[in-house]
Each structure stands twice: as C-alpha cells, then as structure tokens.
Chains A and B, each alone.
Chain A
Amino acid sequence: MSRYYLNYLDELESEAIYVLREVWAQFQNPVILFSGGKDSIVVTHLARKAFYPCKIPFALMHVDTGHNFPETIQFRDDLIKTLEARLIVGSVQESIDQGRVAEEKGKNATRNALQITTLLDAIEGNKVDCAIGGGRRDEEKARAKERFFSHRDDFGQWDPKNQRPELWNLFNGKYFEGEHFRVFPISNWTEMDVWNYIRRENIDIPSLYLAHEREVVWRNNSWIPHSEFLVLDKDEKVVRKKVRFRTLGDITITGGIESDADTIDKIVHEVSAMRLTERGNRSDDKRSETAMEDRKKQGYF
C-alpha cells in the first residue's frame, strides 16, 4: 500500500478543519454553539487546530437553560479562559422572564424545546450569520439528512425537503439578510470516532462523562441525576449509584448509565461494546418518532 494515505481519523480531522476554514472565509460573524458536551468540545478543539497559530476566531455561544450540571458551567468558563475567546450566553430564564416562552408543566416538564426561541433570539441579537454545531449524522434519523452547510430561513427554520445540493467539497454559504447557516464540521463522525479522537488528542472533557458516584432517580429506563429542578413522584426514590453520562443535555433530561468506566480508555472500550444508541437515554428524543425532525425544523440545534 502507498504511504500516501490517511487513516480515517486523520481524514475526518482534515475534513472538519477544511469546513471550519470555509466558515471563516464565507461568513461575517460565525460562532460555535457550545453546549459543554463532547461534540462541541471536539469542534472547538478542531477550530483551535484549524487556525493555529492564530487564536480561535469564533466566539462561543452557550444556550443556558438554567438547568445545568454545575460541572458543565465550570468547564465552559475554564475553556473560555484558556482559549482567550469571547463567550455569548443566551439565557432561557431571561426568555421566560420576558414572556417570550412559557415553562412546561408537570413531572416530565423540560426546558429543552424552550431553547429554540432563546437560540434564535441570541443569533438574531448578536447578528450571527453562521452557528457552528457539533451535530453528527449518525445521531438520529433527521440528522442523517443534514448538509455540512445547512441553510436556515429568516424564521430560523430548516426545510429538509428543499435543501441545497452539496457536491464535492464546494459549499454554498450565500444567504439573504436575516437568514443564517448552521454548519456541522463533524457530520461524518460517529460516537466511536469522537471518543477515539478524544483519546488520541488527549482532549479535556467534563468529569460527568467519567464514572462517578451520584444521587440519581430511576426514570424512563435510565438514571436521572437528582437536582433542585427535579420533581419527584411519591414512588420515586433517590439512590447513590456509580454512573456516567453518554451525552450531556439539561440536567433534568439527561439519563446516566451505570458504569465503572472512569478513564477515557475504559470509555472507548465500553462504547465499542454498547448495544444502545447514545441518545437512547435522552427523554427529549423519546417524545415521538419524529421528535428531532420536528424540533430541527423549528430551529433546534
């Protein structure tokens, strides 16, 4: 075999760097949507590489639901300091206080869907023309249809049946006033690729991904972390378990799995043997068969 070939991880890395540089060249005010989750951390790491030795040229935008894991916020603030980057926070609490959205009621209430309004307000308010996300096509069936450069109309909506064709590596980021783009540099990565890359690059991630002792409640077939935001049923009991999280979302909807994997090596090993998809523990995706598609059309990540 010729020595001039890349292994798949190097090829994915070069593809993502290429996409990030296209964003910088084609847009006026691009930001990285930063959730504190592993995917947006990997995108931020790639952005650092893409522009080295320049500083990362994107602000980080965080949609803060107010229902955070404290570890996530700490991690975010530390990273901002290291990168010397600008942080933009869109607050769901503010959207609620301003009457832009209304809080859901009941035991399964979450702030997941409310984020859409806050996100779109933050994009508009900060004149953002491109929001870079960590979405991957392997995550979910609606995301499997995403382009690298994904157009949003002036209501922030996605029209999956009417997407611009995307050929070769030629990305069309042209838009009219008020419209914007979502760009997904790690579209072609799988969960396994992300973990292998985190291990190879030795990327810092929030401790929540590693197995740790925590107070949790068994709900919807997974261990939901106990927090001040959780409304308990009479028959629900808070117990201490050794858990870790495969994805990070709101503390109210992110289910953990029982695990002893407390190092990245162990996680890589565990994930390769997993028999459930990573979003299988996300109650936001379980509301209906097309829950993600419906939210994405409205402007969700």
Chain B
Amino acid sequence: MEINSNQLLRFTTAGSVDDGKSTLIGRLLYDSKSIFEDQMTAIENTSKKKGHEGIDLALFTDGLRDEREQGITIDVAYRYFTTPKRKFIIADTPGHIQYTRNMVTGASTANAAIILVDARHGVIEQTKRHAFIASLLHIPHVIVCINKMDLVDFSEETYNSIIKQFEEFSSKLLVQDIRFIPISALLGDNVVNRSENMSWYQGAPLLHTLETMHISSDINKVDARFPVQTVLRPQREGFIDYRGYAGRVASGVFRVGDEVAIMPSGFHSVIKSIDGPSGPLTEAFAPMSVSINLEDDIDISRGDMIVRANNQPEAAQDIEVMLCWLHNDPAKPRAKYTIKHTSNEQKAMIKEVIYKIDINTLGRKTDDFSMHMNDICKVKIRTTKPLMVDSYRENRNTGSLILIDDATNETVAAGMVI
C-alpha cells in the first residue's frame, strides 16, 4: 500500500456471539484479504479439531486463553485492516448485558458503530441497549446490519419490518446518521461483495459504506480548544527563550496571529508560532499534536486550556454528567474521587444522583440511586476547582471525563457532560 491521503476510520461492533459478530469481522478481514497464510493455517487446524465443516471465520477473533476455552469475548480487542481507500480500526466489544462497560469503552473513540440484528429475531432488548449506548456516546454514524438473511430466505419483507421496528424506538435517540444493510456474514452477502441473493437491496455493501462515509466532520472543527499537556523549555543554545505549550488540539483550528485566552486564568495573548511534528505550521487543527508559542510570557501549566478569545468553554465547578459506572465496587455516596478531564485533574464529589436509566426500557428510575457496575445515571458532580467544559454532544474531547478511586487507583466511571 502506498502512502497517500487515506483517512483512518475507527468503528465498534456490538452484538453477541449468536448474532454472528465474530463471523462478520472474520468475513471483513478474510474478504478484504487481511488474513495471512499462517493465521489461516492455524484457523483451519482449529476448525478441524472442533469438527466444523470448512473454516470457522469466527475463530479469527479469538483472543485470550479463557476466551478460546469459553468461546466468548471478555474484553475489548482491537483489529486492523486496510483497503486501498481507508485504514480501519475495529474495537471488537462483547455484547452481553454485563459488558456495557466494554461497549462504552469501544464506543468512546469510534466514528461508527455496527449493530448486529439477527434477522430471525428482529429487534430485541439487546439491540436497544446497543443503539442506546451508541447514541449516549454520540457515535456519529450507526450502521444496523441485519444478519443471517440467508436463514429468512433473503426476504425483503422481513428486512423492511425490522427497519420499522428499529425506527420506532430509535426516534427517541439522538443519532445523526443511521443506515441499514441486509447481510449474511456467513456467506458473505453484502459484506464486501454485493449480494446476488438480494437484488432488491439498492444500497452499498458494508465495506463500501465504511470506505466512503464522510467522517471529516466527526470532530468539532468550530470551537478551538487546546488542553496543555506539558511545557517545553529547552534552555539550551539557540532556544534560550523558547517556551512551547505542548498538547493535542482537542477541537477547532488555531492559526498563527490568533488572539487566544488562557483558561482558567483568563489572560489574553496572541499565537506567535506553532510547531508540528515535522516543523513550523501556520495552522493546527484537531487531532494534531503540536506545540504553541505565545507572544507574551504567561504562567501556563499542565491542565490549563488555550482557547480562542471570542469562543470560550464554560468554567464550571458544578457539572451535570451522564455517568456510566465501570467498576465492581459500587459508588460510595458523597465519596471523593479524582476526576480526569482533558489534561486537567481535580478532586471531585458525586453530590447527587438525579435518575438512573433502565437500560432495558430506556426509561428513568427515580427510586433507586445506587450505582453498580454497568449502571448509567445522571448525576451532579462538584469539583474543587473549575473545569473548562463543553457539552459532550458538542465536543467529545472537552465533554468527557473519568473518575478514579484514590483508594484503589482504579478507573471507576466514565462521564459525559450534559
């Protein structure tokens, strides 16, 4: 593959073993010729050992010893493949109810989510959970793959009725872009190659959809936000006065000459120069790692944020957040946690649980304020010092945070600013 202007697309796959998720990933890798001969030989041997006819595509996604033995996925696994059009990263997440936490993890960086529906069963509770998490994590594109079409005689009627079921409940969700594709992962219909069995389907196969969907707008390019990671001060000859603020542009565009404000101090300055990985730049945009030099000497350190002077985030100490609890130990009422938000770190307290989401009905529970693993709740958090936040819907990078339990150092919750 030549170096070119190809983009990177990250997607997550949600579904259980029974939905054919592993088979679908195996099919994508196999038909896009991303599988090597020694991997193929290993799979053929295992398929034979297990008594399968032909090769079991699902075995390509086998991972840890326990997963191989139990035939399940325990943790997020990442897979890679490249076509002449794009490079792809798959976050392969387990679909069982107890693994909400893994789905949230995989979804957090995804441009797209593939939700698998078994054509024989239609939209089930699990489908709703997956769609809900995709909307909660604000994944820009959702592709509903109606799988096992071969087992319903490739029926257009079945396909249409499942779309209807899906749309009935998804109208309540905030998803910008939903597409539907009828597939058979097992036989390969509409995965990489167009299905001959479903000539009634006019849309593109899955891979073509992934290769061509517009993703340049998935990152916020309007609100310029630059969390400072560290300060570069070489203090050696040629660079005596150099003071670069190193970080990754979280959103928006910064240009040399822009008037900027430093949060939380509120000081103003002007961008003198920007250094990118390969030298000076006139502008930098998300998600570039650069270092920014200002005209004035201002005290700036890790955790501060450089923003455009006329477009600032909210500096808030009381923040309303959708919180997904990720740890075995439940939340302790009014306990203190360390909060990580961009490069900033503060102490924080969960002051109030406003409601809990019933992940099965998607309704609100206001009589149960406990937070256990996989629970999703709307909460109020108070921090010791202000965080510079945007709403998660507007800005994934400056609207997301995690909570760490100081007693165990474990990451216990993921939050999205409302």
Question: Which A residues lie at the B interface, using CB under 8 A?
Answer: 1-2, 4-15, 17-18, 21-22, 24-25, 49-55, 137-138, 141-142, 144-145, 160-161, 163-170, 172, 174-176, 187-188, 190, 192-193, 196, 199-200, 272, 274-277, 280, 289-290, 293
Contacts and interface: CB of A to CB of B under 8 A. Distances in A.
Interface in B92-149: 101-102, 104-105, 108-109
Q: Which 10 A-B pairs have the closest CB atoms?
A: A8-B8, A17-B289, A174-B409, A14-B289, A167-B108, A8-B87, A280-B38, A5-B216, A18-B248, A21-B229
Contacts of A12: 8
B36 interface: yes
B183 interface: no
Contact of A2 (B217, B277, B400): B217
Contacts of A49: 277-278
Interface string B384-415: 00000000000011001110100001110010
A145 B76 contact: yes
A167 B93 CA distance: 13
Interface string B49-69: 000000000000011111010
A91 to B, nearest CB: 32
Interface residues of B, number: 76
Nearest to A294: B65
Given A168-B400, A192-B82, A50 B246 contact: yes
Contacts of A11: 7-8, 287
Interface stretch (B232-240, B304-312, B364-372): B232-240
B89 A145 contact: no
23 contacts: A1-B216, A4-B216, A4-B285, A5-B216, A7-B3, A7-B6, A14-B287, A15-B287, A17-B248, A24-B230, A52-B275, A53-B244, A141-B63, A142-B64, A145-B77, A161-B75, A164-B410, A164-B411, A167-B411, A174-B404, A174-B409, A192-B1, A293-B64
Contacts of B214: 1
Nearest to A5: B216
B416 to A, nearest CB: 10
B234 A54 contact: yes
A4 B76 contact: no
Contacts of A7: 3-7
A53 B239 contact: yes
Interface string B1-25: 1011111100000000000000000
A1 to B, nearest CB: 6
A38 B39 CA distance: 23
Contacts of A272: 1
Nearest to B218: A5
Nearest to A174: B409
Contact of B246 (A5, A21, A161): A21
A165 B64 contact: no
Given A1-B214, A144-B79, 15 more contacts: A4-B253, A7-B7, A8-B6, A11-B7, A53-B244, A137-B78, A167-B109, A169-B248, A170-B341, A187-B78, A199-B3, A272-B1, A275-B37, A289-B42, A290-B65
B288 A21 contact: no
Contacts of A22: 229
A1 B244 CA distance: 31
Interface in B211-256: 214, 216-217, 221, 229-230, 232-234, 236, 238-239, 242, 244, 246-248, 253
Contacts of A274: 36
Contacts of B347: none
B239 A160 contact: no
Given A52-B275, A145-B63, A188 B78 contact: yes
Contact of A168 (B78, B277, B289, B396): B396
B80 interface: yes
B320 to A, nearest CB: 18
Contacts of B285: 4
A24 B102 CA distance: 28
A293 B111 CA distance: 30
Contacts of B74: 161
B209 interface: no
Contacts of A17: 248, 277, 289
A192 B302 CA distance: 35
B348 to A, nearest CB: 14
A166 B105 contact: yes
B191 interface: no
B356 interface: no
Contact of B75 (A163, A193, A275): A163
Interface in B303-355: 326, 338, 340-341, 343
Given A22-B229, A24-B230, A165-B414, A53 B78 contact: no
Nearest to A13: B277
A170 B414 CA distance: 10
Contacts of B247: 21
Contacts of A55: 234, 236
Contacts of A169: 109, 248, 397
Contacts of A163: 75
Contact of B277 (A4, A14, A170): A14
Nearest to A146: B78
Contacts of A160: 64, 75
Contact of B109 (A137, A138, A168, A199): A168
A167 B400 contact: yes
B401 A5 contact: no
Contact of A167 (B89, B217, B414): B414
A286 to B, nearest CB: 10
A10 B248 CA distance: 13
A163 B242 CA distance: 40
Contacts of A9: 3
A167 B277 contact: no
A9 B6 CA distance: 9
Interface in B179-213: none
Contact of B230 (A21, A168, A187): A21
Contact of B411 (A53, A145, A172, A175): A172
